Amino acid sequence: MLACPFSIPKFEWDNPLPMLTKCSMCGDRIAHGDAPACVSVCPTDVMTFGRYEDVLEEARKRIAAPGSRYVQHIYGQEEAGGTLWLYISDKPFEELGFRMNVPKHSIPSNTKGFMHATPRVGIVWFAILSVLYWFTKRRADVKKKKEESKTDAVPET
């Protein structure tokens, strides 16, 4: 939730068993060949759903149309490495509350180097902790054997 540059995932604060939720793009509807519910029921018909390339081409046509008042920017085409949601508007996106400081590169690329190292770090820590466990267990066993041998060596009276 904190890492999303668009502040999309929301925490269900009022739910006794809260979850972190975001739009799932109505996967079940898309699997049946239908558009997402928001597109199907939009009363102003401002949303379009389809193949990314087709929607991007339509956005470019609308912006380039003679007399178009659209801002010369397709929001989501480059932001965060490109998103599945594309927006065009006749008002500046800043006025609509869109974040304009979103980096152009993909957000997961920020942690790519660290994530590749994770398995190696895990293996190293496993090895270190295993050796420490073996060493402390062996010391405890040696100590226990010494104590047992001392109690066996004491003569009975």
What number is the average pLDDT over the span 92-114? 88
Q: What is the pLDDT of residues 56-89, one digit of tens each?
A: 999 999 999 999 999 999 999 999 999 888 999 9
Supply the pLDDT for residue 115: 84
| pLDDT higher than 80, residue 44 | yes
What number is the average pLDDT over the span 28-40? 90
Distance from C-alpha of 118 to C-alpha of 120, rounded to nearest angstrom: 5
Q: What are 119's two structure tokens?
A: 């398995």
Give the global pTM.
Answer: 0.63
Supply the pLDDT for residue 22: 80
Contacts of 58 (CB under 8 A, 6+ apart): 48
Mean pLDDT of the chain: 88
Supply the pLDDT for residue 64: 95
Supply the pLDDT for residue 7: 73
Distance from C-alpha of 65 to C-alpha of 150, rounded to nearest angstrom: 96
Distance from C-alpha of 153 to C-alpha of 146, rounded to nearest angstrom: 10
pLDDT-wise least confident of 4-18, 50-64, 85-99: 4-18
| pLDDT higher than 80, residue 16 | yes
Q: Which long-range contacts (CB under 8 A, 24 or more apart) does 80-89 make?
A: 80/5, 80/6, 80/104, 80/105, 80/106, 80/107, 81/105, 81/106, 81/107, 81/109, 82/106, 83/6, 84/25, 84/52, 86/55, 86/56, 86/59, 88/59, 88/62, 88/63
